Amino acid sequence: MSVILKGAIRLYYYLNEEIADKRSQEWFLMRNPWPGLVIIGIYLLAVFKWLPEYMKKRAAYDLRVVIAIYNVIQIIGCMYIVYQSLVLGWLNHYRFVCQPVDHGPNSVEYAWKVCYLYFVIKMMDLLDTVFFILRKKQNQVTFLHVYHHFGMVMVAWGMVKWVPGGHVTLLVPVNSLVHIIMYSYYLLTIWDEAYKQSLWWKKHVTQIQILQFLLLLIHFILVVTIPDCAVPRQPAYILIPQNLFMVILFVDFYYRSYIKTVKQA
């Protein structure tokens, strides 16, 4: 038992101290995983227990103004992240295949303005679920929705903690660009509810999400298939199954929502 305990402590120290990127160690929520895990725990309890119980005998809240403001903040935040990721990295000195973790002159700025801000945005994304429940749209709180939201928080935290730059961070501008499209669609539905009835919009937003995960899956596979790729392989071992799982979940959602229902009709 003591051997197992010592091994666990050693592993924790290795992950949290030895291989952590020193540039981001002292940033808020980055020193160790516990505060972030507490936030995720509170999120899961809130969306599966506390908020549904709170809303049982209450009418749905009208949150159109709040959600419209939230969507605008999301769009502006994601646009800023995409811009900074291109200027400081991907359209500057980054290469798209096997880009090592950057330690150059702009590396801290990239880590802060791109990777850490992306983590903050992923934390904000958790409000999507809260809004669903407060509007009495519990049917939209699916396994796919919840898993995707808290999973992306964990991925973003790990990126800032261990690899705040380089090959892995292509997911930041790609995912942020998708979210610009997605939150623009949400803003349209708040502005005019007729867009909610348009399967064309919903279908294409889902297609873009699937394409995103396929592109990132290929991008991460390159790390483990190219022999001389000077990029840490450990993140790819996590991100490859993560993105494959997301492809499967989104394809299943797409089939059930836009193919199976059409056949039945």
- What does the pLDDT look like over 152-171, one tens digit per residue? 999 999 999 999 999 999 99
Is residue 49 situated within a structural domain?
Answer: no
- pLDDT score at 198: 61
Q: How far apart are CA 25 and CA 28, in angstroms?
A: 9
Q: How far apart are CA 113 and CA 80, in angstroms?
A: 9
By C-alpha distance, which of 189, 207, 193, 200 is closest to 253?
Answer: 207
Q: Is 11 left (phi over 0), alpha (psi -120 to 50) or beta?
A: alpha
- What does the pLDDT look like over 1-14, one tens digit per residue? 677 888 888 888 88
What stretch of H or E contains 176?
helix 171-191
- What does the pLDDT look like over 71-99, one tens digit per residue? 999 999 999 999 999 999 999 999 999 99
In degrees rounded to 5, what are phi and psi of residue 96?
-80, -15
The DSSP-derived string for 95-126 is -SSSPPPP-STTHHHHIIIIIIHHHHHHHHHT
- What does the pLDDT look like over 13-50, one tens digit per residue? 888 888 999 999 999 999 999 999 999 999 999 999 99
Provide the residue range defining the domain that includes 195. Answer: 60-264
Is residue 227 situated within a structural domain?
Answer: yes
Instruction: Give the active site residues.
Output: 148
Q: Which two tokens stand for residue 142?
A: 């699916």
Place of tokens 């945005």: 121
The total domain count for the chain is 1
- pLDDT score at 196: 63
User: Is residue 109 a contact partner of residue 156, using CB atoms and an 8 Å limit?
Assistant: no
| Amino acid letter, residue 221 | I
Is residue 32 situated within a structural domain?
Answer: no
**CA geometry: angle at 96 spanning 25 and 145, to 5°?**
65
Is residue 20 situated within a structural domain?
Answer: no
Q: What is the CA radius of gyration of the chain?
A: 20
Is residue 3 situated within a structural domain?
Answer: no
What stretch of H or E contains 211?
helix 199-225
Is residue 10 situated within a structural domain?
Answer: no
pTM: 0.93
Is it the case that residue 262 has pLDDT exceeding 70? no
Is residue 132 situated within a structural domain?
Answer: yes
- What does the pLDDT look like over 206-256, one tens digit per residue? 999 999 999 999 999 999 999 989 898 989 999 999 999 999 999 999 998
By C-alpha distance, which of 217, 70, 233, 222 is closest to 162?
Answer: 233
Q: Which two tokens stand for residue 202?
A: 């919903």
Is residue 212 situated within a structural domain?
Answer: yes
Burial label, 111 (beta-carbon count in 10 A; 0-12, 13-18, 19+): buried
Q: Which two tokens stand for residue 232?
A: 């840490």
